[in-house]
Every structure is written in C-alpha cells, then in structure tokens.
Structure 1
Amino acid sequence: MMKPIKKIASLFLALVVMLSFSVTAFAAGATGSITIQSNTDVSVEGKTFRAYKILDVKSYTSDSVVYTVPEALKEFYKTRYSLNGNEGDFDAQVVGKIKEESDLFAFAAAALAAAKAANIAPGTATAGEGATSVTISELPLGYYVVEDAGAATPISALILDTTNPDVTLEIKADQPGIEKKIDGDTDTDDTTEGLVDYNNAAIGDKVPYVLTTRVPDMTGYTKYYFVVNDTLSKGLSFNGDVTITLGDTTLTKDTDYTVTATENADGTTSVEIVFKNFIQYKNAEKRNITITYSATVNGQAVIGVAGNPNAVTLTYSNNPNISDSGTTDQPDKPTEGSPVGETPEDETRTYVTAIELIKVDPEGNRLTDAEFTVTGQKTNIVLLRKDVFTKAEEGDYWKLKNGTYTTTEPTEETKADYESITDRYSKEIKAETIQTRESVTATGVVGSDGILRVEGLSAGEYTITEVKAPAGYNLLKTPIVIRIDWSAPAASSTDCSWTVSGVEGAVVIGGLVKVTIENNAGTELPSTGGIGTTIFYVLGGALVLAAVVLLVTRKRMRNRG
C-alpha cells in the first residue's frame, strides 16, 4: 500500500517542481509603469496622459516575449496589414509587420485611434501643479501607445516586459520641424523688417532666406537621415550661397553637408541639402541649426497679387527599430521605403508688380508710336514688353476702329466696329531688358495696341515722361509721378495687395498698375516767352526804329527848306 502512495507523492512533487520551473514563462499578474517627464521645452504640469495596450504579453522567458493581439483590435490589424487571420500564426505575423513599419508615428496614431474606437480602457494619470513628471502605474505588461490627452496625439509607442517593466520617457514634439523666413532686415524691401513670410521686390533683387530647425532627440538610433528639400518657383533663381551653422559651429560644405540644385521641367528649381553622418550630432540635441541662402528675382517672375513662392520640407528618420543604408552613392540620403517622415511644407512668397501705360486720344481710341521713359529708384532690371501686330493672311486678330485688336471674328452685326473685315493680324510680343545698379531710366515705345508694359517693379515712386508724342498730337508738358505701395497678405490668404496714388484714373487690376495717358491733337502754339513773342518784340522794335528815322529825316528836310 505504501508503494502506490510513494509513487503518487513522487509524481505530485515532480509536478510541483515542474510548475516551479515554468512560472517564469507566464506573465499573469505582472505589471509595469510608464513615467512621463518634462523637458526644457514642454512641461507635463496639468497634463493628462493615457496609455492604451495594443498588444498583450502572453508569456515570456529570459530570452523572449510572446505577444498576442487583443480581440478588440484584430480587425484593425487585419485591415492594416491585409491579413485574414487564418494564415499561420496571426499574432506572430502582426508583430513582424509592426517591426517593419516605416513610419512608426503614423502607426502609433492609427493604433491609438483604433484602441479608442474599440473602447479599450487606458491607464491614466494627471500631473499636478508644479509637477515635472507623472507616472501611470499598475499596467499589465504589453505594447502600449501613450497619448497626451489634451493634444490627442501619440507621444510614444513602447514595450513593457519583464526586462523593462518600468519605462521613463520625456515628453517632446511629435516630429522635427523646420521654419522658413525672408530676412526683412537685409532684403531690398523697405516695407519689411525682421524675419517675415512675405516681401516685395524688383526683378534683379536678391531675396535672403533663413531656415531654422534643431537637432532632434536621436535616442535609440544608430543612423539618422536629415535632409532639407527646398523648391523655388520659376521666378526665383538659386544663387548657391548656402551657409549652415549648428549651434556656434559653421559647417563645411561637402564635408558636413552636400547641396544639389536641379532645374525641373516646369521651370522650378529643387534644392536638396543632405547632412552627412547626422548621427554624429546625437549629443548636440536641441541645438539650433540655421541655414541661409539667397535667390534672385528673374524675368519669369509672376506679376501681380499671387506672388512667387519658395517652399521647404524636412525629411527625417522616424523609426530606430529599422536599419537602413541609404542610396549606393549617397548613404546619408534615404531611398524609397526608408523609415522616414516629412514635415509639413513651410512657404514664403515674393511679390512683383508692373506698370501698364495705355495711350489714347480724347475719345478713348488707342494711339501708337508714343515714346516714354520710366524712372525709379527701386529697380535693378526692367522688362519692357509690347505687342506688335502685323498683317498676316492666317492671323488670329482683327483691328477695331478704336485702335485695339481682338480675336473675335467680325459679323454682319459687328462689322461697323472693325477697321477692316478682311485684314487679319498676327501678334508678336517684343521684350527689351534694361539693367542698372541703383536706379533706372527705361525708354520704350507703345505697341500696336497703344500699350507699353514696364515689368519687374517693386513698391516705390516712379516718374513717367513722354519724350515723343504720336504724329499730329501734342507732347505732354508735365511728367507723371506715381506712387506704388504694397501690403502683405492677410492671415487667411496668400494674395497681397498693391495700391497706386498720384495719378487720377490710375487703377490696380490683378496687381498690375494701369495708367491711361491722353494726348490732344493739333499743333501747339507758342506760349508767352516763346519764339512768337520774341518775333513780336523784334518787329515792334523795328517799327519804332523806322518811325524815329522817319521823324529825324523830315525834321532835317524842314530845316534845309
């Protein structure tokens, strides 16, 4: 009887021993904590944080952890990774897919939204007054997404397990940022000061740019991409004068960074600045990075209220769990599929205007062959543009009796408005470029349609002088002085505003200043002080002299008699 009892006791003892060896392979009842700390830029004081468990810990050993997908999140993972749940070990596949995520922040945001939608109860803690840290305690081991409840965005995705059950993280911005400004203190625009988003300039002006960012937290990374991508519109020419400072250190081109400028098919220019071996600045976290360069406004600049944009983005590493070697010839430049994120675009705009001179007679009919000079102090390069119409059998234009041209074909009802219903004209745009250093006196002749456009101007005062009148018309006696002023766009728009003063009837349409100049027909009579008055004086003097001579002669004759 004793032998069976001994056998049972031995089996029971063996089972107890086996269970005692197996207890480390199960995680039931194990908990951890997450502590969130303030940093120099962001405080946790008064903030509430929530931790949502998006993977459960099924078991663990000293070497590995086995995760399972919570029932409430299975559909989320199936949809995100295109899994049906039947192929092999679903849990292991999900874990593998998470490790392959190229944008961990985007994954965390999606998982956070899914956890909320599934009503998963979070662990919660609120930092009190003056607190520099806050701890979410008694959390079952697992894979968590932590959010700042006030911002409703994830601040971290992290793992709690037996090797690291208590995790501390520092609250920080979700991603690196970059800001672009125009240096209003060194540009040629007298209306802007400091770092601004908008300015106005003339063709030929240099626009100085300042880009600012900071060295991010690179904890956990062994390699980090940091690439600035700048796009200049076709009205801005890149000058290649890039300088970069990191803290108090000036970086060296080609040693610390590379600059590549590419002219695109649409006329824009892409400028790429690649920082080399950026991970070397890991211990310089939060130090400012300042990038400066300039662009010159060119003849393709957009005239008017829309402006000439210049936009920048920053491409940066965002997943320390994925290693990547970059391109073959540029290891510091990410390839398609590299684990990187991109900041929102930050943009500046430079605005340019023009004066359109319209020559008419008193009835409003267009006049040709008038010649003008436009003088201003705020101009480096001026484009004089005019339309020249010549007769052509296959032309697209007809001439109207008022001197303008139209592409509308005459009809029986409208033919009375046309100079000829058979003559056609083709249009050619002729442009002349005048360059100067400080001021300009640009001379041009109005086109066949009575219009001369002076393009590439900024805000300032301009003098318009007629130096040759159309045949049969009087020359303007007094120069026209106009003042063009500029205002930056309102907060909700990118369209600027231009205003004109000093000339009656001058208007601004779409950012183009239009000035109508009227000439009167006839030959101008001499004015007082002119040649005509001189002739009268001469003739009068001659008559008086003749009368004196006659009187003297008669008196002598009487005396002789």
Structure 2
Amino acid sequence: MKKVWKAGIAGLAALSIGAAGFIGTTAAFAAPVDKVITVPAVSAGQTAHTFNVYQIFTGDISADGNTLSNIQWGAQGSEAGSAADAVTALKALTGSDAAKAKEIAKYVKKGADGKFVAPLKTVSSGNTITVPSGYYLLEDTTASTNGDANNIYIVTVNGDTTIAPKNKTVTSSKNVKDKNDTEGTTTDWQDGADHDINDEIEYRLVFNLPANYSDFDSYMLNFVDDMGYGLTYKAGSSKIKVGSGTATAIDDPTNVTGQNKPGSTTDKYTSSYAHATNTNLKGTVWKWSFANTKEDSFFANAANSAVVELTYTATLNENAVLGSAGNPNKFHAEYTNDFYNEDSYGTTPDDVNKVFTYELSVSKVDKDKNPLYNGAGFTLYKKTTTAATNNTLPEDAPAGSIAHDNFVWKPTGTEQRVDATENGQAAEGKTNIAHFKGIDDGTYLLRETFTPDGYNTAEDVIFTLTANHETTSADPTLNSVTTNNTEVTMVEGSMNIATSVVNNKGSELPETGGMGTTMLYVAGGAIVLIAGIGMAVALRRRQA
C-alpha cells in the first residue's frame, strides 16, 4: 500500500501522520522492509523529472503493511530532538497543504548553506529505486522551462510507491495588434501583424499566477522580452493590470542584455536576434522585475490563478527586416516555482510574435520596356480614412499629403528617384529602381512627382496591398502578399512587391523645312491663289 502527499499544484493530501500509518498499537511489526519507489516514464514531448530522495525517518512495517512503528531518525533526518517528539509534532499539523509541507521540510537535515544535505538517492522518470520502509521527502530538481512548479512529495513507504509527474502550474503568452490605416481598423490581440516603418505597435505580455499563489510567502516574477533590432521600445509606455484591477503605469524595463540570469553567475541574457553581417544590429533583452509580488502594491489584490497583463509600445524602426522573414519578438516569464524554497526559479516557454513589413520596388522603363536612367522621382501615398471634401485637404492633414477621390492620402516617406545618366542608359553602379521600404496592407497611390525634361509625366498607379500572415501560431509565417492591380506583382521568394512605370518622351514640334512647314507653305500658296482669283473676278465685274 502506498501513501503519497504532494506539495504543489495538486496540494498535499490531508496530512495526518495517524492516517499515514505511523505508530500502530495493536499490529505485529517486522524490521524495516525494502520497498520500491517508481517514477513513470514520460510521454513524447513531456519533460522528464529527477527527484532527490531524503530519508526523514525509518520504521518497522506491520504485518498487514499499513503501519510503521519504532520510528527512528533517517539518514537525512534533522535529529533535532527525539524522533518520537518529531512524529508527535507532525501528527498535530494543521493549516494548508503548503504550510504542512513547509513544516515537514524542516525535518530534513540542512548544511551550512541552509540547503538540504546530499540525498539518500536520486530517481528519474522511467526508473525505480529501492529504499527501506520509512518516511521520505522527494524533491523535484528538474530545471523548469515549461511553466512547471518544483513540487515536493511526502511519502510513507510501507509498500511499493509510484510518484506521479508534476503538473504545469503557470502559463504565459505574448500578443500584438494589427492596424489598417486605410480601413481605420485595429485587430484584437494576435500572434502576427504587419505595420509601416515608424508605426507604434501595441504588445501584450500575459502571465497566469499559480493556483496556489496564496501559499507563497514570497514570489518573484520577471517579464523577459527579447526584442529584435527592427523594434525600438517606447519609453513610458508600460502598464500592468493584475486580475480585475485597472491598468496602471509602471517603470520602464531594464536592458539586461549580457547580465546574469537569476540564481546564476554564468548563464547570461543574450538576444536571439542579431544581423547576419552587420554586427552593429543586435537585439535587446528587456526585463520588468517584481522581486516580491507579495510586497508589491501592484499585486495587492492578486488572487490564486489571477491573470497578470503587461502592455507596452514599440516602434518599427528603419532597421526593420522587409518581407517574409519578419521582425520577431519573443517573451518568457521567470517565477518562483517552489513555495518552500524561495531561491528556486522556473521559466515559461518562449512565445514568439512577428511583425511583417514590405517593400515596393518601382522600375523606370521606356516604351520598349528597357531600363531608363533618367532621374525620375516618385512619391508613394497611402489612403487614410480622413475625408478631403471636394478634394480639398483639411488643415490638419499630415505634411506632404494629397487629396484624391475625396480622401487624404499621406506620404509614406520622401520622394525616391531613380539614377540618372547622361544618355539615360545603363552605367556602372547605377540603377533604374526606386525603393519604398516599410509599408503594410492598405491602398496606395504611386505618383511621378519629378519628371525629367523631355518626358511626359506617367499616370498614377493605384493599388490595394493585401497580406496573408498567420495570426495564431507559435512562430507566425507570411503566406502571401497580393494586390488588386495586375501592374503591381509579388516578388517571388521575398514576398515584397514591384511595378514598372513607362516614361514616354513628349511630342516633338515640327522643324523648319520639315513636312509641317511644307504643308504650311502649300496652304499659304493656296490662300494667295484663291485671293488672287477673287480679286480678278471683282475687277471684271467692275469693268462690265
């Protein structure tokens, strides 16, 4: 028969030493008997666990296997007073499961550093150990990286015993909002989005406190955010909301890149995002720290399983990655995972968001579709929801905006020009392409805003860009970028877009001696001839 009390998410069973089978008074007893402790193997994808096994007491087992007697201090027992007095104290324990577990842990011998001495044995998932009958504490020492708690198990070994793997106790997630300027819409929280360069992007970090949060005397919580080099944190934008409370402004996070992680002198925070060739472009690890939420006013009303939401804003900057690679940003939480050991920390798995942004490449060509290097300039405008009645710009329209189709269209950036050569033909190092970097979904107008001498201004190109990216995913991907204009097409591989604009030369005026002049001469001669005939007829009439 097995008896197991577990501290942690499931809590301890009603911890009564009498119920545990200590100190029988009527049964016959045999000397300590070896019994087996089993930790089952984990399923695929689950975390294997390792336990330190501490022998607090040994005891003789009754013939029926239900009771222990002749209790003595075990190999790791504290030996603080008599074993009989310790058992009496344990039988009198009251309060929560966590409180009981903490008291039981006091009966394990500790070293000068205040930590448990070396265990009697260790056992890991898929294995068994044999121990004498007695009273044991099993400490889960598994490094927690998936939201688990490091539980302790209190075991009366008067029969073979199986230890169930621990359960996940906390979760965390990261989300972002997507905005469409043309439609004036903003999505709910999701995992993927697209934005223009210089857009301010809303992010949300979520952490669920453990179901036994009230059992902790002290609780550390850190929000750790690894931000790619295409994103810039906006100072003063952080807010926190705990449970049903209201969102409240908090201090900005600390840049902890290169600093030690909690409880370590060697493991440091390192960004996963660095440019492949430009060593100046690196990601930044930010951390919002709450050393002890039990003493933090923001967590004054925190309850078991309460949801903690931390929001902030970041700007998509000029270093943003264009196209399908996206601009990633990931988050995990660090938390106290042992209510009887405040120095034991766990982490949740990383949750990744991505923000995509795109590039429009405009190729300048002649009427035969050959590259044209004439220095033409283009400006790209994005349609907004602001009305421009009678195509008149309102006074508060963004600088450089135009009115078209009774709406305000704002410039996405400055005018971009193709390279110019003396003869308009290719030259080394020259390009016939203008680039508009960092645009997102919406409706656009491409206008030639600088026309070289001798050329006609090209017609406007209007198109709507639509992006299809994952919104719920552990690692969002960009599936496609399309437009409603056949002249603007997706670039295979990068998922950016491109178009060609034709520049035609203006109509040439006729030159002296040319066909046009000859025609004028002929026409003029005809007029003189007709006039002469008219005069002759008039004279004859007078003479008649």
Matched residues in 1 for 2:108 and 2:469: separation? 55
Query: Structure 1 residue aligned with 2:221, among 218, 222, 226?
Result: 226
Would the aligned equivalents of 1:199 and 1:351 in 2 still touch at CA under 8 Å?
A: yes
Matched residues in 2 for 1:202 and 1:196: separation? 17
- The residue correspondences of 1:21-32 to structure 2 (distance < 5 A) are 32=3
Matching of residue 346 in structure 1 with residue 361 in structure 2 = no
Task: Show CA shifts across 1:368-413 (max 9, x none).
Answer: 422223222279xxxxxxxxxxxxxxxxxxxxxxxxxxxxxxxxxx
Q: In 2 relative to 1, CA 185–376 (structure 1 residues): closer, same or farther, beyond 3 Å?
A: closer
Matching of residue 301 in structure 1 with residue 320 in structure 2 = yes
Matching of residue 439 in structure 1 with residue 410 in structure 2 = yes
Matched residues in 2 for 1:233 and 1:544: separation? 80
Amino acid at match of 1:242: S
Matched residues in 1 for 2:169 and 2:498: separation? 48
Q: Which residue of 1 aligns with 2:446?
A: 464
Would the aligned equivalents of 1:57 and 1:67 in 2 still touch at CA under 8 Å?
A: yes
Amino acid at match of 1:299: E
Task: Show CA shifts across 1:456-483 (max 9, x none).
Answer: 11122333333555667x5364333343
1:181 is displaced (CA, Å) by 0.7
Matching of residue 316 in structure 1 with residue 335 in structure 2 = yes
Would the aligned equivalents of 1:37 and 1:171 in 2 still touch at CA under 8 Å?
A: no
Would the aligned equivalents of 2:240 and 2:309 in 1 still touch at CA under 8 Å?
A: yes
Q: Which residue of 2 aligns with 1:291?
A: 310
Query: Any idea what SS the aligned residue of 1:245 has?
Result: strand
Matching of residue 159 in structure 1 with residue 151 in structure 2 = no
Residue ranges of structure 2 left out of the alignment (5+ in a row): 11-36, 40-50, 60-68, 78-106, 141-145, 158-162, 258-270, 272-279, 386-398, 402-407, 420-429, 511-515
- State the identity %: 18
Q: Which residue of 1 aligns with 2:253?
A: 259
Would the aligned equivalents of 1:112 and 1:145 in 2 still touch at CA under 8 Å?
A: no
Q: In 2 relative to 1, CA 276–200 (structure 1 residues): closer, same or farther, beyond 3 Å?
A: same
Would the aligned equivalents of 1:258 and 1:275 in 2 still touch at CA under 8 Å?
A: no
Would the aligned equivalents of 1:237 and 1:298 in 2 still touch at CA under 8 Å?
A: yes
Q: Which residue of 2 aligns with 1:66?
A: 74
Query: Structure 2 residue aligned with 1:215, among 209, 220, 225?
Result: 209
Amino acid at match of 1:271: W
Amino acid at match of 1:371: G
Q: In 2 relative to 1, CA 307–159 (structure 1 residues): closer, same or farther, beyond 3 Å?
A: same
Task: Show CA shifts across 1:467-508 (max 9, x none).
Answer: 555667x53643333432211149586431323442348341
Matched residues in 2 for 1:37 and 1:171: separation? 11
Query: Structure 2 residue aligned with 1:512, among 496, 504, 511?
Result: 496
Matched residues in 2 for 1:461 and 1:187: separation? 9
Would the aligned equivalents of 1:36 and 1:171 in 2 still touch at CA under 8 Å?
A: no
Matched residues in 2 for 1:540 and 1:261: separation? 86
Residue ranges of structure 1 left out of the alignment (5+ in a row): 1-28, 40-49, 70-91, 102-106, 122-138, 163-168, 324-337, 380-433, 528-533
Query: Any idea what SS the aligned residue of 2:331 has?
Result: strand
Q: In 2 relative to 1, CA 57–444 (structure 1 residues): closer, same or farther, beyond 3 Å?
A: closer
Q: In 2 relative to 1, CA 467–32 (structure 1 residues): closer, same or farther, beyond 3 Å?
A: closer
Q: In 2 relative to 1, CA 538–480 (structure 1 residues): closer, same or farther, beyond 3 Å?
A: farther
Would the aligned equivalents of 1:305 and 1:351 in 2 still touch at CA under 8 Å?
A: yes
Would the aligned equivalents of 1:185 and 1:195 in 2 still touch at CA under 8 Å?
A: no
TM-score relative to the length of structure 2: 0.57
- The residue correspondences of 1:188-207 to structure 2 (distance < 5 A) are 193-207=187-201
1:173 is displaced (CA, Å) by 5.0
Would the aligned equivalents of 1:99 and 1:322 in 2 still touch at CA under 8 Å?
A: no
Q: In 2 relative to 1, CA 36–536 (structure 1 residues): closer, same or farther, beyond 3 Å?
A: farther
Matching of residue 118 in structure 1 with residue 118 in structure 2 = no
Matching of residue 270 in structure 1 with residue 270 in structure 2 = no
Query: Structure 2 residue aligned with 1:246, among 233, 242, 246?
Result: 242
Q: In 2 relative to 1, CA 227–262 (structure 1 residues): closer, same or farther, beyond 3 Å?
A: closer
1:294 is displaced (CA, Å) by 1.3
1:453 is displaced (CA, Å) by 0.9
Higher helix proportion? 1
Matched residues in 2 for 1:444 and 1:554: separation? 68
Q: Which residue of 2 aligns with 1:524?
A: 507
Query: Any idea what SS the aligned residue of 1:118 has?
Result: strand
Matched residues in 1 for 2:183 and 2:344: separation? 42
Q: In 2 relative to 1, CA 56–215 (structure 1 residues): closer, same or farther, beyond 3 Å?
A: same
RMSD across aligned positions (CA): 5.1
Q: In 2 relative to 1, CA 478–183 (structure 1 residues): closer, same or farther, beyond 3 Å?
A: closer
1:182 is displaced (CA, Å) by 1.1
Q: For structure 1, which segment, 229-238 or 262-271, has the greater mean C-alpha deviation from structure 2 after superposition?
A: 262-271
Would the aligned equivalents of 1:307 and 1:351 in 2 still touch at CA under 8 Å?
A: yes
Q: Which residue of 2 aligns with 1:177?
A: 171
